[in-house]
């Protein structure tokens, strides 16, 4: 099976290309680094020739409201049109658990617009909603930093190792299109402020975590369960305390 991975040189994309190749599929990494640009359409037709499945794990280089909306709507329209022309039988997209509950955020409004385009396309699809990756600990802490403190809300979330996200997306990709959204999450819910307090201490990071009920996530305030998956989510097995990258030296 030929599977084209849009964003195939990034964190999840490179893992997908490797895992799919190990299982005997022709996995093609497509990104601007490999001459494929979904914003301009450059290289799309050639990359999708003979493709059975396309997996889109690309992300916007800018999270500014207008830029991120333009990225997800333009790239998704171009990609779906190229897939329809090439006869692709399954479009798989990676998105985020809680997207529909985070519409105060420009980023998540853009993700919702992307999902709507996919759902209304003639190309059969599957959307995978994932929770926050363990690999995002530093970037999430940096986003919440004010001086030598880091602000996080006392809400629940369910982080997951990116390896397990890639595995889940790969399983969906090689199956029949679901024409629906499924969720994947880490093994257990944890309180965000407490998690980051322990995670930063484990990295010898001197910043102090402040519990702040109004701390925003991508510009949106969080409710107690905003970031949690539903009851039917597939759960990973790796806990953060057992993850090799927890000290910040490896991934």
C-beta atoms surrounding 13 within 10 Å = 25
User: 208 forms bridges with which residues in the sheet?
Assistant: 149
C-beta atoms surrounding 219 within 10 Å = 14
pLDDT of residue 250: 58
Domain boundaries in the chain?
Answer: 2-134+159-188+229-238
Cα 9 to Cα 80: distance, rounded to the nearest angstrom: 20
**pLDDT less than 50: residues of the chain:** 251
Cα 13 to Cα 173: distance, rounded to the nearest angstrom: 13
User: 133 forms bridges with which residues in the sheet?
Assistant: 160
Cα 134 to Cα 222: distance, rounded to the nearest angstrom: 19
- State pTM to two decimals: 0.95
The answer to whether domain 2-134+159-188+229-238 has CATH 3.40.920.10 is no
C-beta atoms surrounding 168 within 10 Å = 22
Biggest CA-to-CA distance, the chain: 53
């Amino acid at each position: 099976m030929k599977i084209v991975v849009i964003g195939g040189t990034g964190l999840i994309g490179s893992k997908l290309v490797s895992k799919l190749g190990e299982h005997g599929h022709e996995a093609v990494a497509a990104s601007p680094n490999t001459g494929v640009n979904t914003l301009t359409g450059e290289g799309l037709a050639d990359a999708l020739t003979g493709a059975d499945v396309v997996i889109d794990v690309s992300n916007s280089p800018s999270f500014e409201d207008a830029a991120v909306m333009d990225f997800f709507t333009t790239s998704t329209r171009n990609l779906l049109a190229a897939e329809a022309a090439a006869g692709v039988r399954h479009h798989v997209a990676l998105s985020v658990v809680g997207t529909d509950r985070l519409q105060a955020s420009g980023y998540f409004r853009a993700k919702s617009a992307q999902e709507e385009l996919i759902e209304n396309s003639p190309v059969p699809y599957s959307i995978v909603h994932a929770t926050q990756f363990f690999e995002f600990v530093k970037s999430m802490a940096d986003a919440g930093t004010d001086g030598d403190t880091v602000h996080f809300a006392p809400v629940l979330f369910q982080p997951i190792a990116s390896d397990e996200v890639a595995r889940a997306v790969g399983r969906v990709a090689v199956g029949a299109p679901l024409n629906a959204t499924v969720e994947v999450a880490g093994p257990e819910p944890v309180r965000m402020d407490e998690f980051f307090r322990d995670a930063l201490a484990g990295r010898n990071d001197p910043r102090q975590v402040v519990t702040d009920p109004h701390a925003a996530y991508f510009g949106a305030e969080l409710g107690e369960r905003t970031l949690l998956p539903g009851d039917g989510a597939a759960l990973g097995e790796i806990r953060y305390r057992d993850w090799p990258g927890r000290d910040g030296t490896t991934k």
